[in-house]
Amino acid sequence: MRAMVKLFSSSWFAWFLLSALVSVNVGVEARVRHYKWEVKYEFHSPDCFEKLVIAINGQSPGPSIVAEQGDTIVVELTNRLLTENIAIHWHGIRQIGTPWSDGTEGVTQCPILPAQTHVYKFVVDRPGTYLYHAHYGMQREAGLYGSIRVSLPKGAKEPFAYDGEHSLLLADWWHRSTYEQSTGLSSKPFRWVGEPQSLLIQGRGSYNCSLVSGLNAAGTGSVCNATNPQCSPHFMTVVPGKTYRIRIASVTSLSALNFQIEGHNMTIVEADGHYVEPVVVQNLNIYSGETYSVLVKADRDPSRNYWAAVNVRARKPETPTGVAIFNYYPNHPKRRPPTIPPAGPVWNDTSYAIAQSQSIKARAGFIHTPPSQSDRVITLLNTQNLIDGFRRWSLNNVSFTLPHTPYLIAIHQNLTHAFNQTPAPDSYRAKEYDIFRPPPNPNATQSDSIYRLRFNSTVDIILQNANTLNPNNSETHPWHLHGHDFWVLGYGIGVFDPVNDPKKYNLVNPIMKNSAAVFPYGWTALRFKADNPGAWAFHCHIEAHFYMGMGVVFESGVDRLGKLPDSIMGCGES
Amino acid sequence: MRAMVKLFSSSWFAWFLLSALVSVNVGVEARVRHYKWEVKYEFHSPDCFEKLVIAINGQSPGPSIVAEQGDTIVVELTNRLLTENIAIHWHGIRQIGTPWSDGTEGVTQCPILPAQTHVYKFVVDRPGTYLYHAHYGMQREAGLYGSIRVSLPKGAKEPFAYDGEHSLLLADWWHRSTYEQSTGLSSKPFRWVGEPQSLLIQGRGSYNCSLVSGLNAAGTGSVCNATNPQCSPHFMTVVPGKTYRIRIASVTSLSALNFQIEGHNMTIVEADGHYVEPVVVQNLNIYSGETYSVLVKADRDPSRNYWAAVNVRARKPETPTGVAIFNYYPNHPKRRPPTIPPAGPVWNDTSYAIAQSQSIKARAGFIHTPPSQSDRVITLLNTQNLIDGFRRWSLNNVSFTLPHTPYLIAIHQNLTHAFNQTPAPDSYRAKEYDIFRPPPNPNATQSDSIYRLRFNSTVDIILQNANTLNPNNSETHPWHLHGHDFWVLGYGIGVFDPVNDPKKYNLVNPIMKNSAAVFPYGWTALRFKADNPGAWAFHCHIEAHFYMGMGVVFESGVDRLGKLPDSIMGCGES
């Protein structure tokens, strides 16, 4: 990013030409793309407030992985943190045949120790927009994430046309360290992480420095500097009249977001690596872990720039709008639009949220028809609970904890003492539970028990939302499945009806995704085929919620795997 | 500590009686003392400013290890940090026969992973006052430390009399996290850790909360509360006319300290676990890693309390005096003395510092006479350097870096590729180097090369101080040797003269220690016998200095060791 800024300051036009050039597909055959990353702490000021971030090769967001379908990605990652381990998940990459490269600490690998170099190797088998991010403790929140863009191979054509493209990685940002956040979550009394201080677009936000006292805690310097170039807004330069593909990915730790470009319609054409039937929207809801491509035509008054804006949804916003500049060439890309950034739709308009999610269907010609029946239905009621006075999240009254030995290893080596062998529960007592009230008995149990799925079977997941511990409160949870895509069969409000609701499933053209939300007091029905041997996490993508137990693990076909690589070993039982 | 405060608030007199009872030696045979520790982050306010500390069983300082000579200590330590590893060093315990329990990450063990339980097992073979603390990254500064007190076995008598005892652990304290500190040290431009915000006595200090803005960075609450009971001063209750042994240990990360009890003389009787010829002082210089016992008679006006005070020495102080209350029974132990806490001697009076160190000799009847000759002399010139623009410390132009494979393992398993096999240099070009000026060429090399010592040979170490990178500046460095005690043969100012200075060595009654200072522009001569098979760190005990390369490693007799325990393995080469 710094390099870019530097380049720009000498000649932003040169940069603009260069970026236009890069966006043209240069055809090469499937190949190995080798990345060498050093991960360490650095002082950055992404929203003008100086804070430690976990940077990759000096950058947060880290370097983008840009590849073509069929390429093999090799990331040689060296942990240069002093005392802290790492694991990185390649979000949306199914890791077919390489379940050990999924990067999920405790599920598919042991953490990477300081000074250790770990090699992730996997094939990007499908074009689309993806993410990578830390999957260990709450390191994602420290800025350890980046973008993956996979384009079509030479000669192949997208089912839509555009003249150039831009990528936007969206994040939320706190000034407290992840250590403080996670310690607060596991303290008595419970300390919630709170709403983020800033929203970042491509790693850039803008905190109001007047809210911070002049000196940092140590009294050694100013911690907030509104003129720091690191926090000048990101800009996307467009030529009037041209159409752009904007790849938008959300790696937020907490916030559901709404994205818009002031005064411009957007046409949604891709979601989570799948083409969708074009939908024109004025703004886009995007939940943590989701990715979209939208087409935007630069068809407005070209004499000025426009705001690209993100606003918090689904939680009462306490965070200012995050902005980037939609820059009409030849206006100066740092020229601020003359308007106030748009505020987005009302944060708690759930009907609007559901309607937009429901409107997204697989694109004709690219439909993967789901199996008409499932072999097993797993209903997951999520509740907020108290365990020994600690606040936790549970599924069917079980709050998930990661074991010390990664499941993939434990199952493959038959280490039956490494985790609880009792199957996790497939359902809850729906008739006895009132999802509209706080849990009558908030006690739950903690367990590292999992779901073992018959290989190649078809599984339905019903995410059933409920009231939290606070009266009249139910939250939106973005769920993410590792190793597979699922079909989104339907959304509803209230208690899922196992007799009637399945009759309304969309089995014709459901979108396939790896991440989908369950809405307040609602349910979301998903279907997937357990056809990828491995152990795979399925969890709420809110980092604090997964830390508090809101996740499960699916195993299938591990017995079909050959020898596991030594590189994922080194912790827990053996 | 909380339990104590609670007890006190119900009846401090009950607590006083209890503590008097505990201080009586209850004779039992040598036995195994089992400790079960859980290490995790907690929010504490040791100096009224709320900050994350690494606590053991909820405490920082951690629980005291109290044992009798000959006891076996078993510490079953579970790492409950989320993403961070741990190692704990038992400072002053020589680990005879158990070199793998020394707890030095990179030297004697791999770090202990999150969720892992590691068992340290060792014998406390000698009575005295010791310490334990983290020996990994800069975790010591986060509060991961505690006291070890080893008393004489049943029936045996100290060579001095006292009526009761108190323990004081001294520390310095920063409000920035250790991550920020260590990242700053390895940044360009270099960011020094700065002087500490507070000095802590038994984990309690008092920051001036008016210097802190009302809200923490996240705006969620007050970070400094002067009335927090966690930061009320520690007190030592004494009965008028009685004599007390006060065990004083310094675990500071940076500061050399001076300790005194307002208006009371102190008689030094023990240093680093060795009896010393009694020396009466008004105040005691104590360098990081040192321990002392002093006798104090409560012989002053009993109608009031007195300050016990610590002040910074050897660096220009920017930290307020740290205080505890020397409480004359039956005055209320929280009653503040009517006086201003004493300021201590002038911080840069080096002659005073050297004179006090030189005055401490082995106690008659307890003298271990050193060998009259050494087999090898290693002179270590310490210089401040720049390597690739990073500021580092070097010994004989080599800046020390820890390898990924602990030396003990690498040497024992003959993994010659695990570290640089070139021997580290035994000396520097004394005739060409001007210790009174900044290094003419500040470049140095980084290496993990070590010193391999013939088993049972006698080795002299000459610590030679020099000017830092700044003109007219030379610092005091407290050096600590693992696995052995050394004889302190002499101190001097200027360049060590290998012909004439050894003639002035004290070979009659030198004190044995594990930690000793080298003074500005001075030298310190140490002798030890390499009679403990293992790999042992010898380093400046200033945490930032060791991190910046100011240390070496000695190996001897590793070939005499049997199988190493599996528990120290799991990182680096194998």
The pLDDT of residue A72: 98
Q: What is the pLDDT of residue A573?
A: 83
Task: Give the three-state DSSP class for B179.
Answer: helix
pLDDT over threshold 80, residue A258:
yes
Residues of B in contact with A182 (CB under 8 A): 41, 82
- The Cβ-side half-sphere exposure at A423, using a 13 Å CA radius, reads 9
Taking CA–CA distances from B177, the nearest residue in chain A reads A177
pLDDT beyond 70 at A423:
yes
Q: In whole angstroms, what is the distance from residue B218 CA to residue A198 CA? A: 11
Mean pLDDT value of segment A73-86: 98
Q: Look up the pTM and report it.
A: 0.93
* Predicted confidence band of residue A25 (pLDDT cuts 50, 70, 90): very low
CB contact under 8 A, A180 and B211: no
Starting from the edge strand earliest in sequence, which strands make up the sheet with A445-447, in order? A445-447, A398-400, A390-395, A376-387, A458-464, A522-529, A486-493, A512-513
CA distance B181 to chain A (A): 10
Backbone φ/ψ region at A557: left (φ over 0), alpha (ψ -120 to 50), beta:
left
With beta carbons less than 8 A apart as the criterion, state whether A26 and A15 touch.
no
A222 touches chain B (CB under 8 A): no
Task: Say if B210 is an interface residue toward chain A (CB within 8 Å).
Answer: no
Specify the DSSP element, H or E, that contains A489.
Answer: strand A486-493
Query: Cβ neighbours of residue A330 under 8 Å, at least 6 residues apart?
Result: none
A569 and chain B: CB distance < 8 Å anywhere? Answer: no
Q: What ipTM describes this predicted complex?
A: 0.92
Tens of pLDDT, residue by residue over B511-546, are 999 999 999 999 999 999 999 999 999 999 999 999
The C-alpha of A412 sits at a distance from chain B's nearest C-alpha, in angstroms, of 20
Question: Mean pLDDT highest for which of B6-10, B209-213, B449-453?
Answer: B449-453
Contact state of A115 with B217 under an 8 Å Cβ cutoff? no
Average pLDDT across chain A, whole number: 93
Residue A218: pLDDT band (50, 70, 90) is very low
| Chain A partners within 8 Å of B41 (Cβ) | 179, 182-183
- CA of A374 vs chain B CAs: smallest distance (Å): 38
Residue B214 — pLDDT band, cuts 50, 70, 90? low
Structure tokens at A522: 């609602």
pLDDT of residue A216: 52
Cα(A88)–Cα(A145) distance, integer angstroms: 8
Least CB–CB distance from A83: residue in B41, B84, B175? B84
Output the pLDDT for position B20.
Answer: 44
**Helix, strand, or coil (residue A22):** helix
Return residues 479-538 of B near A (CB < 8 Å). Answer: none
Instruction: State the Cα angle at B95 between B93 and B100, rounded to 5°.
Output: 125
